[in-house]
Structure 1
Amino acid sequence: MDNTRQMISSGSPLEPRIGFSRAVRKGSHVAVAGTAPIGENGTVVGQGDVHAQTVRCLDIAEAALQEAGASLTDVVRTRIMLTDISRWKEAARAHGERFAAIRPACTFVEVSRFIDERWLVEIEVDAVLD
C-alpha cells in the first residue's frame, strides 16, 4: 500500500498561515477540509442562497478530489454545516444533485457561524479509493 502523503492546495493565502491543505490523500484515503463558497476571485458565491453556496462548495471539493486522483464516486462521507439548520432542504437538494446514486454517509449540523458571516454553508468530504 502506498502511504505517500499528497497535499492538495487551493491556493488560498490562509492555507500556510493556518497550516492546512484543501485536501490530503494518504494511501487510499482522501480528506477534503471544510470548504466554503468562495469564488475564483475570492468573493463569496451565492450570497443569501444556500443552494448556490452548496453547489460552489461541492465544485471546490470535487476539484480537490480530482487533483488527488479521486472522484465523487469514491466519496464515503459528507458533512454539511449550516448556520441555519431550517434551510437544510436547500443544501440537501444540491447534495442530492451530485450524490443521489452514490449515497455517501451524510450529516447535517448547525453551527453558530463561519469565518465570513456571508457563508451559509461549509462542507467536508471524505473519500476512499479502491
Structure 2
Amino acid sequence: MHRFSPEVRILDPCNRDAISLLPHIVLYHGTVDNFIPPNANKGFADALQKVGARTELILYVGQTHTDLFLHDPMRGGKDDLFDHIVAVIHSNDKEALAKDAMAPSRRRLAPEFLLKLAHWANPF
C-alpha cells in the first residue's frame, strides 16, 4: 500500500514534470478525525509544497471526518467548509462574492438529536 500513498507518489521523480500542471490545491481536514489522522494531510501538504505545488491546508478545530461534509451542512445556517470552498471558487469574481455575502441562511435538514445520534454512532 505504501507505493500507492499520494505523499509517496508526489515525491517520485518520475512525476516531477506533472507538478507544474497542478492547480492551487486546498486541503481541508478536521483536527479530531479518527479515520484519517490530520498528520496524514499535513504530510501530504508538506510533500506537495516540497516539490513546488501551490498548496494550502485548512484545519477545522474539533471537527471529525464526517462533521465537515455531513453533519454541519445538515444543521443549516452557516457552514464554514461550504463558505470556504465557494470563496475559493469565486475568488476572482467580485460580483459572485458579493452575491455569496448576501445569500440567505441555509435551512436545517435534520433535527439536532438525530445529528448527535449519528455523530455518536459514527466511528469516524
Q: Which protein shows a greater Rg?
A: 2
In the superposition, the TM-score normalised over structure 2's length comes to 0.29
More relative contact order in 1 or in 2 (CA 8 Å, sep 6+)? 1
In the superposition, the TM-score normalised over structure 1's length comes to 0.28
